[in-house]
Structure 1
Amino acid sequence: MSRRFVISTIVLLFLWDHLPAIADPQTNLLNLGCSTYNATNKSLFFANLNSTFSDLHSEISAGINSTVTTEETHSSAPVYALFSCRTYLSQADCLGCLAAAVDKVRSCGAGTGGRVIFDGCTLRYESAPFFDQGTLPGNTAVCGNGTTALPGFPAAVSSLTGDLSLAAPSIVGYSAAAEEGGVYGAAQCAATLSKEVCAQCLQVAYTNIQQCLPAGNGRSVDAGCFMRFSNVGFFTANQTVDLALYLGRSGGSSKKRGIIIGCVIAAVIGLLILSFLAFLWTRKSRRREDGWKGDILGATELRGPVNFRYRDLKSATKNFSQENKLGEGGFGDVYKGTLKNKKVVAVKRLAVSQTESAKASFQSEVKLISNVHHRNLVRLLGCCSKSQDLLLVYEYMGRGSLDRFLFGEKKEVLSWKQRFNIIVGMAKGISYLHHEFHVCIIHRDIKPSNILLDDNFQPKIADFGLVKLLPGDQSHVSTKFAGTLGYTAPEYALHGQLTEKVDTYSFGVVILEIISGRRNSDPKLGPSNQYLLEWVWQLYEDGDLVELIDKSMDPDEYDFEEVKRVIKVALLCIQSMVSLRPTMSEAVILLLTQAEPKLDPMRPIFIDSVNGVRGETSSSAYTSTTQATVSITQFSAR
């Protein structure tokens, strides 16, 4: 670590705490978003929310950290909160910004999530952990009115914001402010992010903020980062950071290079503007309006997916050869493909109807799915629609699906740590689909073959969004069965009643499969424990859950009490009564909380494809063995 790096870090931290107040908390409102889900226990929720706000105030008052977090999780109404203040604000102004943010976000009422972004700070709270989130759908630019007459201003903005996006992730606190060529700029990430996630978020911010040019000021806002530029100073000169220290170049050469780069960028921008005007003339496209379109918690304008050429995908998969086939399922066959740039992808050939209306719906659905970004969800890269083929292009997962490790012919041993991380990652991914994306996506077919693993054994859920979504104005919807028996909740299999709790039930079944290393139904085990759920319940009643644990795991590598706690969470997830099952955000909390769940599970209903309903119920049997089907439908916003 260089001496200059240490000195600049100390100075940055000192200034944030000791500079005199400038009486400007910078409370210009950029974004206010509220969850449409309300807390069930409102009095407890408000008590926890007030407690987190008080804790945030205390931490800002007592320390020098610009990003602080707090959580109230020991109840049925958990609250996680994060407050991030711009480091060039004085401590007094930071507290003022926090007070204004708390006052503004209270307009969310009993909503289980809320976010307010000012020029000077960001405040967010949720009912589930979110501190590792960087860029999310809804990230956008907020542009000022008018333009600046300063010569070379657009080029100077591009140069400075580019340097900020590269330097800030390497600076302690992920924050930097600088002035160059009459441009004032700042970039900041929440300190809870990793360096890689911060860098990714700021790259998106850099791209977004260019849309504001040639305006005299602009901001880029996202879930985990913030960027701003202006032709008027919004911080003092002694609050700046020498970006050259973090970009691998000296200050003098930086300025010289900046002038050269500025000239080049100005020329390039000029050519791009002319090209863009020509494009508008020939295509008669509508001009994108300046300003805000939608908010972060519920974006109304989505980016479309990349459209691949059919002949490129055909070549990449060797004409969809058996050699390149990775697997098949209810939604279609999947092939490994190598694009011309050597990038390896997975190409899914959808088995859906080929009507014109189906193709139109395919485009709208894929546009939405392509905006789903979460570390535990398989990324949709693009699509292709040609003749009788509807193709989806996904990121490639080299380790394949979870069922290969649990039930494959050459079953590979997973440690308890790996299994627990897979369970938690699945829960976070499903929770994102249910509660954090701007529409509620119900998967309907959660099972090991739809859980893919990356090189680090992190789980990524596949095939989400390919069946009906829950309408925002209904508590449930009756629909044609689309799932896999053995994983499907009784109310859905028997009556077609679909809610988010259908995925909760399937998740509980998969937890038990992961812990036991056996399928939910295995005729080879005989009638006494052929059905996993019945066997687990019997072991639970007998107090003999240790028998459930996969014998391939080393007993010295796991804590039985932790395993037992996770089994109990699974049993809560497969409750017969929908209202007794936790939401997936609650399931995340139950898994990460060390204390054993206070609720005791009740005997569930068991369904198999041969004998129908098993257990304590008077409902008629459902005997169909139909596997998952796909129907293209409209997505409904929350």
Structure 2
Amino acid sequence: MAYFASALAFLALLLWSRITAADPQTNLLLRACSLINVTNTTAFAATINLTFSDLRFTISSAAPGSSATHFATAWGYAQPFYALFQCRGYLSTADCLTCFSAAEVCIRICGPANGARVIYDGCFLRYESTPFFQSKGPGNGNNCGERNSTSGFSASVRPLLEDLKANTPRTREFFAAVEREGVFAVAQCVETVSEEGCEQCLATAVDHVMLCLPSADGRAVDAGCFMRYSDESFFPANRTVDLSPYLTNSARNVTMEHGRAKSSKKGALIGAVAGGVGGLLLLLGAISLLWIRRSRDQRNPSEGDTLGESTLQGSVNFHYKDLKTATNNFSEKNKVGKGGFGDVYKGQLKNGRTVAVKRLIITQTSRARADFQSEVKLIRNIHHRNLVNLLGYSSKCDNFLLVYEYMTNGSLDKFIFGNRRGFLNWRQRFDIIVGVARGLAYLHQEFLVRIIHRDIKCSNILLDNNFQPRVADFGLARLLPEDKSHVNTIFAGTFGYTAPEYAIHGQLSEKVDTYSYGIVVLEIISGRKCNDIKLQPVTQYLLEWDQSVPVLKQAWKLYERDLLLEMVDETLDASDYTPEEVKRIIKIALLCTQSTVAARPTMSEIVVLLVNQTDDALHPTRPTFIEASNRVYGEASSSPAGSTSTPVAASHATFSTFQFSAR
């Protein structure tokens, strides 16, 4: 009998090692690179090589069962450098090392950036030039699966995730994997944060991952913690964590001890054999499930992104006839707006879900198809609470259709200068301003490739049921080449919102979105369009204020005279805001519209400026004004030679420079 039990144990170990070694979970969820490069690239290369070598050695040489098999830090060498690597607690050492190898290759794409991080399903790698081990990081949003769950699944997910949030910080390694009522879930914090930091990070993670429901699979991706749920097992059964000691009192332990004392040797032997056989059956079942899943994956390989990588997920391909039925044959009654390239219709799918269907009116050219593929492949993989989710597409013949989640409250422009003007109070407007900034910061720095929207305006900002903003319409988005700070490109945007260097010289960088964002903020505060066609031509472009001057120019004039409160929307209740806060936000908007591209803050910096309560460092310089006659005033001297515009002396902003890395 002992021989039989030993044989079962050996066979189980052999089978399990084959399964786990074959699943390092190297599905890339996020890659973020700092926009600031190191100055000494030679020393940096030597440092990063030595540091990564140390991390690998720590993981590979750790004693079995110790936390070091899944977690390691390193620092020092030729220059300040800090690195951290962590595997999910359920991975084997072999799979952990495989995931580390994938992460190391991926993070090196960031080149000489002074900070970067990559997050996979199975592991997390990060380095910085400043200490960050105690940082729990900002909430970066969610990553939701494509399949919807069965009835009742969501009701089981919510309490389980709440239990994980409350009790994972109390476990020894800040890790918990649980299966309950057909729900498989994992929560994990970086081991260097405090228990309080873990609690705060997971509280944000729960809020993000809950937004995925009723999807059958969801993840919350963060620099300091990770949370995932699914209706399919993604971790071995023997790696689950019993949360009951954290949920009940010590009486349970007394009962368990009493039960163990009454067990006989015969019962133990029977239990061991039965357990071994049962375990073997479970393992064989796991092998079958793994084989079926891999066969399915081989039959349905995911498409790569437009840079040739294979990390982006595919999109749901809807049948054209189903979308035609859902929108009542694209009837005028169902039309809810006009987006990039075409009209948008409200539709109801067979499962009852309400969606927005964008019908692209584009000809069958190579560029048109490239635009379509760019939008489908990129947006389907973007998951952030302030960005609209693309659900799928249809590309039958000449009909290019994009299917988005439906936003009940429509676009922001209706609430700022449309028929619902005056509905939003100051707090709601401020939340929208911050939310849009967070969404753009994600596109510029947090997504695995840098994306520039190019056409930020109020009509491209949608509002959900809680009036939280969702940036929409990525039909004009393009990838920024990794080796260029800007690109010359065909103009795609809306005059009045567009940065001068892009409108005039075709120079595209993420600071183009920064400029447009500043204009939108001025619109939100003032209730005026930046290019109001009802005004005389000389007044059409916003940055000025006496109803004959564009909004931006008017805002600058009021700033020079210390009269910024005069531009506040008259429909706002003065008791809802403080003058200091409003003036601070206007100054931030003016920082975004400065003539010199380098003087404009990044969107990540803008988020920090918005949530800070001081304006001591906010000293914007004069913007560039483009009037309806196409005359340009105040353009920076960075214009190409031969430009007919009149330059002024270029000057950088005097606000404090923040050293942001990819966090």
> In which range does the TM-score fall when normalised by the shorter chain?
0.5 to 0.7
Aligned to 1:173: 169
2:547 equivalent among 529, 539, 555: 529
How far did 1:343 drift?
A: 0.4
Q: Deviations over 1:584-637 (max 9, x none)?
A: 111111111111152522221111333432456795479xxxxxxxxxxxxxxx
Report the secondary structure of 1:508's partner residue. helix
Aligned residue in 2 for 1:25: none
* 1:379 correspondence with 2:382: no
> Aligned-pair distance for 1:473?
1.9
| Residue 241 (structure 1) aligned to one of 229, 243, 247 | 243
Q: 1:131 aligns with which of 129, 132, 138?
A: 138
Size of the aligned set, in residue pairs, is 490
Over 3 Å counting, the alpha-carbon distance change for 1:226 and 1:199 in structure 2 is closer
Q: CA deviation at 1:172?
A: 6.4
- 1:592 matched to which residue of 2? 611
1:545 aligns with 2:564: yes
Q: 1:317 to 1:264 in 2, by over 3 A?
A: farther
Aligned twin of 1:571 = 590
Paired residue for 2:266? Answer: none
Q: Distance in 2 between matches of 1:335 and 1:610?
A: 36
Structure 1 residues 263 and 207 mapped into 2: Cα distance closer, same or farther (>3 Å)?
Answer: farther
User: Within 1, Cα distance between the matches of 2:326 and 2:339?
Assistant: 21
Deviation by residue 1:416-440 (Cα, 9 ceiling, x = unmatched): 1111110110101011111111111
For residues 379-418 of structure 1, the aligned pairs below 5 Å read 379-418=389-428
For the residues of structure 1 that align with 2:496 and 2:136, how far apart are their CA atoms?
A: 30
1:48-93 C-alpha deviation (Å, 9 max, x unpaired): xxxxxxxxxxxxxxxxxxxxxxxxxxxxxxx9999999999xxxxx
Residue deviations 1:341-378 (CA, integer Å, cap 9, x gap): 11000000112231367436633541222000100000
Paired residues for 1:3-402 under 5 Å: 35-39=32-36, 110-114=113-117, 130-133=137-140, 135-136=142-143, 167-169=163-165, 171=167, 173=169, 177=176, 187-188=187-188, 190-191=198-199, 192=201, 193-194=203-204, 196-197=206-207, 200=210, 224-225=225-226, 229=235, 240-242=242-244, 285=299, 300-355=310-365, 358-359=368-369, 362-363=372-373, 365-402=375-412
Q: Deviations over 1:479-519 (max 9, x none)?
A: 11111000000111111111111000000000100011111
Aligned position for 1:556 = 575
Q: Is the 8 A contact 1:137 1:299 kept in 2?
A: no
**Contact 2:480–2:509 under 8 Å retained in 1:** yes
Work out the CA distance in 2 between the residues paired with 1:373 and 1:118: 15
Which stretch has the larger CA shift, 589-598 or 425-434? 589-598
Residues 441 and 165 (structure 1 numbering): CA distance in 2 closer, same or farther, change over 3 Å? Answer: same
Q: Secondary structure at the residue paired with 1:336?
A: strand
- Which amino acid counterpart does residue 226 of structure 2 have in structure 1? C
Q: How many Å separate the matches in 2 of 1:468 and 1:164?
A: 40
Amino acid of the structure 2 residue aligned with 1:441: I
Could you give the per-residue CA deviations for residues 130-176 of structure 1, whole angstroms, max 9, x where no partner exists? 532354499xxxxxxxxxxxxxxxxxxxxxx9997685245463866
Alpha-carbon distance in structure 2 between the residues aligned to 1:205 and 1:451: 24
Post-superposition CA distance 1:322-346 (Å, at most 9, x none) = 0000111442100000001110000
Identity %: 47
Conserved 8 A contact 1:34-1:111: no
2:472 to 455, 462, 481: 462
Q: Does 1:511 align with 2:521?
A: yes
2: CA distance, partners of 1:536 / 1:449: 21
Cα distance in 2 for partners of 1:85, 1:514 equals 44
Separation in structure 2 between the aligned mates of residue 178 and residue 475 of structure 1, nearest angstrom: 43
Please give the alpha-carbon distance, in whole angstroms, between the structure 1 residues aligned to 2:342 and 2:38.
43
Judging changes above 3 Å, is the alpha-carbon distance between structure 1 residues 465 and 232 closer, same or farther for their aligned structure 2 residues? same
Distance 1:342 1:263 in 2: 43
Kindly provide the CA deviation profile for residues 167-222 of structure 1, in whole angstroms up to 9, marking residues without a partner as x.
Answer: 52454638664799xxx99643653234743755999999699xxxxxxxxxx997
Contact 1:489 1:506 in 2 (8 A): yes
Unaligned runs of 5+ in 2: 1-23, 45-80, 91-102, 146-156, 190-197, 229-233, 256-274, 540-545, 638-642, 647-663
| Aligned-residue RMSD, C-alpha | 5.3
AA aligned to 1:396 is: Y
Q: Which amino acid aligns with 2:169?
A: G
- 1-side partners of 2:610 and 2:474: how far apart? 22
- In 2: Cα distance, 1:580 partner to 1:503 partner: 14
Q: In 2 relative to 1, CA 541–358 (structure 1 residues): closer, same or farther, beyond 3 Å? A: closer
Could you report, residue by residue, the CA deviation over 1:226-255 in whole angstroms, capped at 9, with x for unpaired residues? 68855877x9xxx84228969xxx999xxx
* 1:331–1:82 distance in 2 versus 1, CA, 3 Å: farther
CA distance in 1, matches of 2:564, 2:144: 42
| Residue identity matched to 2:547 | N
Distance 2:29 2:354 in 1: 40
Q: Compared with structure 1, are the counterparts of its residues 433 and 134 closer, same or farther at alpha carbon in structure 2 (3 Å cutoff)?
A: closer
Q: 1:478 to 1:415 in 2, by over 3 A?
A: same
Contact 1:501 1:583 in 2 (8 A): yes
CA contact (8 A) 2:390 2:403 kept: yes
Contact residue 497 and residue 516 of structure 2 kept, 8 A? yes
Instruction: Return the offset for 1:472.
Output: 1.7
